[in-house]
Amino acid sequence: MTGPVQQPPTSAWSMYRAIVGIGALCGLLIVTVYQTTAARIRENQERFLAMAVAQVLPAARSTLGVALTEDGRLEKTGEEFALPIFLGYDASGKLVGAVITAEGMGYQDKIRVLYAYSFDLDAIVGFKVLDSKETPGLGDRIEKEPHFLANFEKLDATLTPGGDSLLHPIVTVKQGQKINPWELDGITGATITSEAIGNILNNSATTWAPVLERNAQDFAIVELTEEP
């Protein structure tokens, strides 16, 4: 009859050696794979962004990347930004809208979205989620729920008479309770995520709609080279 085998206690050195050693090896693996795939991932992201721009502003046949200068004006840019802004032009080179990238905190992590702003309608007329880690089956419904996506056929983003802010802040309301054109009809079961989208759009449109409206005339017609 023998009792349970008593194992000798593990020394602290063995523990440190194992955990630090494995951590270093794992770090090396991740850095190597990241370095190897980074260029290809960037290419894919650029292609995906171009497709997304074409989807949210289908009237645009060409786009122009723009950036905000320190004195509050827009200027043409070829630089890459984390949250790029594009002006969209039809086949004749006439400005039809702007496509804006915005991000904010969702339920799980940051959500990055793309939306189209129409100068003629003073409204958000297109929306696409670029990056989201929201809960599958719940939060990720912002990408496919028809009644939620219907909000973006024409979501009012009219400016105040002074043109420095939105006349009505964009807010998310409970599903089925949308009354006003600046309200987002939310999603039951994805309350936090749909409210996050309302906040992201409101914050971004409050910043960008006045800037775009102020500068739109300077870019009304442009000779274009870039295709979306």
Q: Which residues bind another protein (CB under 8 A)?
A: 7, 10, 14-15, 17-19, 21-23, 25-27, 29-30, 33-34, 37, 40-41, 44-45, 47-48, 108, 133-137, 140
Nearest to 200 by CA among 124, 78, 105: 105
DSSP code of residue 40? H
Residue number with CB closer to another protein (10 or 180)? 10
Residue 190 burial (10 A CB sphere; 0-12, 13-18, 19+): buried
Distance in Å, CB of 41 to another protein, minimum: 5
Distance in Å, CB of 54 to another protein, minimum: 15
For residue 167, give every residue at least 6 positions away whose Cβ sits within 8 Å of its Cβ, in sequence order, or none. 158, 159, 160, 182
Distance in Å, CB of 30 to another protein, minimum: 5
Residue number with CB closer to another protein (18 or 221)? 18
Residue number with CB closer to another protein (134 or 183)? 134
- Contact status, residue 86 vs residue 53, Cβ threshold 8 Å: yes
Distance in Å, CB of 188 to another protein, minimum: 16
Nearest to 75 by CA among 215, 174, 181, 185: 215
Residue number with CB closer to another protein (45 or 69)? 45
